[in-house]
């Protein structure tokens, strides 16, 4: 190799710096992606239908098998309503102002490990908070539970696109009906099938604002009253359609 050719080769130090810069860029891109999961959410047809029904129905149930995206679907919609960040494909209900929500599951531990994890990030790693479906740059504040399961949050504050701040409180059915009373809310999300009294209280919280009640679960309790209420309503709707078509 001639001296001129050798001069064109980058030095080991320059090569090392270039590699370090490339790694840093890749890590930053991954960090931004992980802290904006909502931007890449794309529902499959049944999830999209569930979202779109929110425009005309206050109460919705997404009932399906385990591990098919029910919780992810519910968390994505709640994150949209909290942030006001609706994608171009969105055809469901929307708010142009900050909203107030409650979300929960059957136990404090399950609320933490499903609802909180999906919305905020890994409960056990505070540095991961902001990697859930609520974008990291929108997660303004949070408060921890003072009792119950470790690493459980009581509520979060979320920056809305309008400039205001939305709030979400984490609940669990084992707290009892009384803990589901008192607030005026825009929406309630129950992940896992709620007892009838909890469902009724959650719905009551949304009456003033004509808000939303969403339920996502795998039916494990048989023909419970909550399941029956949705099935009866669907049957009545189908009967009315058939009557009008006759």
Q: Which residues are catalytic?
A: 192
Query: CA-CA-CA-CA torsion for 64, 66, 71, 77, nearest 10 degrees?
Result: -30
CA distance linking residue 156 with residue 140, whole number of Å: 8
DSSP state of 58: S
**What's the first-to-final CA gap in the chain, in angstroms?**
90
Question: Which tokens is 112 given?
Answer: 């933490």
Burial of 64 per CB tally in 10 Å (0-12, 13-18, 19+): middle
Place of tokens 């709620």: 194
Give me the residues paired with residue 170 across strands: 103
DSSP state letter for 69: S
């Amino acid at each position: 190799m001639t001296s001129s050719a050798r001069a064109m080769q980058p030095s080991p130090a320059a090569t090392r710096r270039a590699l370090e810069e490339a790694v840093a860029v890749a890590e930053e891109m991954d960090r931004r992606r992980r802290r904006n999961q909502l931007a890449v959410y794309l529902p499959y047809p049944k999830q999209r239908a569930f979202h779109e029904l929110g425009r005309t129905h206050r109460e919705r149930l997404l009932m399906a098998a385990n591990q098919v995206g029910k919780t992810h679907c519910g968390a994505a919609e709640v994150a949209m309503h909290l942030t006001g960040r609706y994608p171009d494909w969105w055809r469901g209900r929307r708010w142009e102002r900050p909203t107030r929500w409650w979300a929960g599951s059957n136990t404090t531990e399950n609320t933490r490990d499903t609802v909180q994890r999906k919305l905020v990030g890994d409960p056990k790693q505070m540095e991961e908070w902001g990697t859930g479906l609520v974008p990291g740059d929108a997660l303004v504040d949070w408060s921890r539970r003072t009792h119950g399961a470790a690493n459980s949050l009581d509520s979060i504050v979320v920056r809305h696109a309008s400039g205001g701040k939305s709030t979400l409180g984490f609940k669990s059915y084992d707290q009892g009906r009384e803990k589901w009373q008192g607030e005026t809310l825009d929406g309630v999300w129950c992940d896992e099938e709620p007892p009838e009294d909890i469902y009724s209280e959650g719905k009551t919280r949304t009456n003033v604002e004509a808000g939303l009640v969403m339920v996502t679960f795998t039916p494990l309790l048989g023909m419970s009253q909550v399941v029956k209420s949705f099935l009866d309503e669907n049957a009545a709707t189908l009967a009315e359609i058939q009557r009008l078509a006759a």
